[in-house]
Chains A and B, each alone.
Chain A
Amino acid sequence: MTQTRPHTDDIAVIERAKSGDEKAFRDLVHLYEDTVYRFAFNVCRNEEMATDTLQNTFINVYNKLDSFDGRSKFSTWLYSIVTNNCLMKRRSEHTHDKELSLEDEKTLHDAETSLLSSRAVSPIGLLLDEELKKIFDVAIKKLPVDHRIVFVMRDIEELSASEVAKILGISVPAVKSRLFRAREFLRKKLEPYVQDTL
């Protein structure tokens, strides 16, 4: 996960958690809670699914922590778990997801219409407003999930291409190819709306 703290701090907490220190496990959860939720939300674009994924991920971590051998970074191991949970959650709600995509077409159209008309009287500010967030949500939801995951890992979480490849079990060129396509798709979709922001 995008970390600023030293890796060694995590290792000490992980070792204590592995030895059965319950407080250490809670500390570990609190260290990674935000990043697991953020990643799950960015992939699922759904608060309920991200909440479920958050719970399931830490249940898995609790049950499997003994199998973490420290050969990879803890964050790499954790990303594998949260990614699998996101994919399983999406598969289990596949029908619902299809229905949403039909609804989202209308949402995108409504949001675009509303945003374009509001732009005529007031410029977009520096922060993302709710209308723009809706457009971002819908645009990224239209990306195939395998491309979306790569975009989130590389451009939002700032993982290296080799780390993403390892987590997803694909080649580095495949990561780069998916990233290129994802960025192209989002850039084209969002270009009219991001010109005045930031």
Chain B
Amino acid sequence: MNHKTVRKHIAEGLNRERNSPICVAVRAHLDECMECQVYVASLERTIDCYKSYKVEVPPKAHDMLEKTLRDLQSNRK
């Protein structure tokens, strides 16, 4: 298995079950390949950074939604 194939399979397999023959082969490659280990680490860091980017509903958006709900429900009556 070459680097490119491994990286394509990693895109399918990060955070996934890893018992299929392909995943076993990918894991075997990773155990031996420092370059791909660095790649996986940087990929995981990138994803973790996006996950740590907290997004919360701004109070203004929440208030607008509450008003929209009141309007919808009063119009239906």
Interface of A toward B, CB cutoff 8 Å = 22, 25-26, 29, 33-34, 37-38, 41-42, 47, 50-51, 54-55, 58-59, 62, 127-128, 132-133, 136, 140, 155-156, 158, 161, 176, 179-180, 183-184, 186-187, 190-191, 194-195, 197-198
**Do residues B65 and A33 form an inter-chain contact, with CB atoms below 8 A?**
yes
Bound together, the chains give a CA A22 to CA B60 distance in angstroms of 22
Known: A180-B11, A194-B46, A195-B42. 6 other contacts (CB 8 A): A29-B65, A41-B55, A50-B61, A55-B65, A127-B52, A155-B50
Chain A CB within 10 Å, residue with most, of B8, B56, B61: B61
Bound together, the chains give a CA A165 to CA B52 distance in angstroms of 25
Identify B45's interface contact among A33, A133, A197, CB under 8 A.
A197
Q: Which of B1-38 contact A (CB under 8 A)?
A: 7-8, 11-12, 14-15
**Do residues B42 and A25 form an inter-chain contact, with CB atoms below 8 A?**
no
Chain A: minimal CB distance from B12 (Å) = 5
Interface class of chain B by DSSP: helix
Bound together, the chains give a CA A127 to CA B7 distance in angstroms of 28
Chain B CB within 10 Å, residue with most, of A133, A161, A184: A184
Q: How many A-B residue pairs have CB under 8 A?
A: 95
Tell me which residues across on chain B come within 8 A of A198, comparing CB atoms: 45, 48-49, 52
Tell me which residues across on chain A come within 8 A of B48, comparing CB atoms: 198
Bound together, the chains give a CA A142 to CA B61 distance in angstroms of 26
Bound together, the chains give a CA A47 to CA B46 distance in angstroms of 22
Chain A: minimal CB distance from B42 (Å) = 5
Identify B73's interface contact among A22, A55, A128, CB under 8 A.
A22
**Do residues B62 and A33 form an inter-chain contact, with CB atoms below 8 A?**
yes
**Do residues B69 and A180 form an inter-chain contact, with CB atoms below 8 A?**
no
**Do residues A190 and B46 form an inter-chain contact, with CB atoms below 8 A?**
yes
Tell me which residues across on chain B come within 8 A of A191, comparing CB atoms: 42, 46
Tell me which residues across on chain A come within 8 A of B60, comparing CB atoms: 51
- The closest CB in chain A to the CB of B52 belongs to A128
Chain B: minimal CB distance from A164 (Å) = 12
Tell me which residues across on chain A come within 8 A of B61, comparing CB atoms: 37, 47, 50-51, 54
Chain A: minimal CB distance from B73 (Å) = 5
**Do residues A158 and B15 form an inter-chain contact, with CB atoms below 8 A?**
yes
